[in-house]
Amino acid sequence: MALGPINTVFRALSDPTRLRLLHLLLDGEICVCDLCAVLGVLQPSISRHLAYLVRSDLVTARPVGKWKYYAIIDEPDGLGSDLISCLRSCLADVDVCQADRTRLEGILKRRDCCRHSNTPSSNQPAMMETTEMNTHKKIVETVRSRYAEFATSGRSSQNETVHSVAEGFGYDAEQLASIPAEANMALSCGNPVAQANLQPGEVVVDLGCGGGLDVFLAAKKVGADGKVIGIDMTAEMIDLARGNAVKFGQGAAPGNVEFHLATIDQIPLADASVDCVISNCVINLAPDKKAVFRDAFRVLKPGGRFVVSDIALKKPLPPEVKDDVAAYTGCLAGATTLTVYEKELIEAGFADVQIMDSQADLNAYRRTEGSSCGCSAPKTSTDKSSPNCCSGDNTQAADDSPTKSSNVLDDFDVNVFAASVSVLAMRPE
């Protein structure tokens, strides 16, 4: 039996994530996309663990199209039946492993796309390679899928929890009552319009506008002679925002508001065409923040303002949180440190950069309902499930059956590691 160097095998078995992966693979071959979904961990991290198991001769990988399927190596080259039955009996009663198994069954049952099959299919969606570009693409798709769920969840200020979370981040009841209730989904982490000193006639762009919350508040400030443009990459959000605009205009969208489907690193606006860039809890979600800052700088007129609410890290996150999908889509794991935030803004050309900790309580969501962090608002009774396996969105599984394994954020004090910040900067004249 070729187990590979014995120390490598024991090292492979010494890691909890790798043990969970092995346990799942005991019953047969599984696609990497399903393993990511079950563990609620981003693919680069799962792929690293799987590569370790492959190097240790415990597991084999089989490419199918551009996806990879993993299986325990059977005798004579693999673990051997004794070790397999030992793993089976040791792990069978472990809570986290049982929960993994239940979750996997749920995922396979719910799935109506990229079916888990041993038959190679040329229709399989492309598995993301671990190049930087493809990792970025994967992250964007995961984020988009998560926010599409929020956009269609029906949550609004009419829900008491959603209302109170928004109040906790700086909106007052009067502001919330002055815009369509569905524009607020408790996805914010500040109130940039309150800080932007917007003037009648100004042109404003809101990066990652969601349902239009800040767009509508800004539209009141800039008036009919101004314009507020909301940018969001999630089609469902743009649809929601456009529907909200009709409500906001009491039957017809006002002429000073428009929404565009685009990513915020490629803003579909002309150079030097905007007086003020606002954004609320979005830039932390963008994998290429330097590109976002460069493009924000490009669209600002000389003297234009960058007024952003966001989440930044006070210190590095523990690895299990850093790798957690829910922590990423929840505006935490993608955040950079305060120092890097400032440095990258300056590198993009901004001046007078100020980043202030607003001292808002980032555990607010968890204290109310559900167990998410950051801008992933609490689950409410109006949430609907729409899993999209091929998009790489693993968070659905995490939400559906919370377990110790998947919800690393359950007991995590977000305030220790991260802050809700107000970022102010200028494009020099």
Q: Does 263 bind ligand SAM (CB under 6 A)?
A: yes
Which among 183, 178, 180, 186 has a CA at the least distance from the CA of 160? Answer: 186
For residue 304, give the DSSP letter: E
Which residue in the shown chain puts its C-beta closest to ligand SAM? 210
As a dihedral over the C-alpha atoms of residue 383, residue 389, residue 393, residue 395, rounded to 10 degrees, the angle is: 50
User: Per-residue contact track with ligand SAM, 323 to 342, x per CB under 6 A?
Assistant: --------x-----------
Angle at 344 between CA 342 and CA 345, to 5 degrees: 65
Rule CB under 6 A: choose which of 142, 195, 234, 405 binds ligand SAM.
234
Distance CA 37, CA 397 (A): 6
Angle at 120 between CA 118 and CA 126, to 5 degrees: 110
Which region among 20-28, 92-100, 118-126, 202-210 touches ligand SAM (by CB under 6 A)?
A: 202-210
User: Between residues 69 and 216, which has the closer beta carbon with respect to ligand SAM?
Assistant: 216
Which among 15, 42, 11, 3 has a CA at the least distance from the CA of 333? Answer: 42
Instruction: Give just the sign of the alpha carbon dihedral 141, 19, 323, 373.
Output: positive
Which region among 12-20, 89-97, 112-120, 274-282 touches ligand SAM (by CB under 6 A)?
A: 274-282
Neighbours of 42 (CB within 10 A): 22
Q: How far is the CB of 124 from ligand SAM (least distance, A)?
A: 26
Q: Does 276 bind ligand SAM (CB under 6 A)?
A: no
User: Per-residue contact track with ligand SAM, 208 to 227, x per CB under 6 A?
Assistant: xxx--x--------------
Contacts for 149 with CB less than 8 Å, ≥ 6 apart: 383, 384, 385, 386, 393, 396
**Residue bearing tokens 């049952």:** 109
Rule CB under 6 A: choose which of 264, 313, 398, 425 binds ligand SAM.
264
Q: How far is the CB of 232 from ligand SAM (least distance, A)?
A: 5
Rule CB under 6 A: choose which of 165, 233, 307, 332 binds ligand SAM.
233
User: Per-residue contact track with ligand SAM, 68 to 107, x per CB under 6 A?
Assistant: ----------------------------------------
Distance CA 391, CA 140 (A): 9
Distance CA 49, CA 19 (A): 10
Per-position DSSP letters for 14-47, written without gaps between them: T-HHHHHHHHHHTTS-EEHHHHHHHHTB-HHHHH
Which region among 21-29, 228-236, 298-306, 313-321 touches ligand SAM (by CB under 6 A)?
A: 228-236
Q: Does 311 bind ligand SAM (CB under 6 A)?
A: no
Q: How far is the CB of 188 from ligand SAM (least distance, A)?
A: 3
Q: How far is the CB of 178 from ligand SAM (least distance, A)?
A: 15
Rule CB under 6 A: choose which of 232, 310, 342, 399 binds ligand SAM.
232
Q: Does 179 bind ligand SAM (CB under 6 A)?
A: no
Which region among 19-27, 106-114, 282-290, 349-357 touches ligand SAM (by CB under 6 A)?
A: 282-290
Question: What SS3 state is found at 160?
Answer: helix
What are the two backbone dihedrals, phi and then psi, of residue 29, each rounded to the nearest 5 degrees? Answer: -75, 140
Which region among 55-63, 157-165, 229-237, 379-387 touches ligand SAM (by CB under 6 A)?
A: 229-237
Which among 154, 147, 137, 330 has a CA at the least distance from the CA of 234? Answer: 147
Q: Does 286 bind ligand SAM (CB under 6 A)?
A: yes
Q: Does 281 bind ligand SAM (CB under 6 A)?
A: yes
Q: How far is the CB of 281 from ligand SAM (least distance, A)?
A: 4
Neighbours of 404 (CB within 10 A): 11
Rule CB under 6 A: choose which of 285, 327, 360, 423 binds ligand SAM.
285
Contacts for 86 with CB less than 8 Å, ≥ 6 apart: none
Which spans of this chain sit near ligand SAM (rule: CB under 6 A)? 140, 143, 147, 185, 187-188, 208-210, 213, 232-234, 237, 263-264, 280-282, 285-286, 331, 375
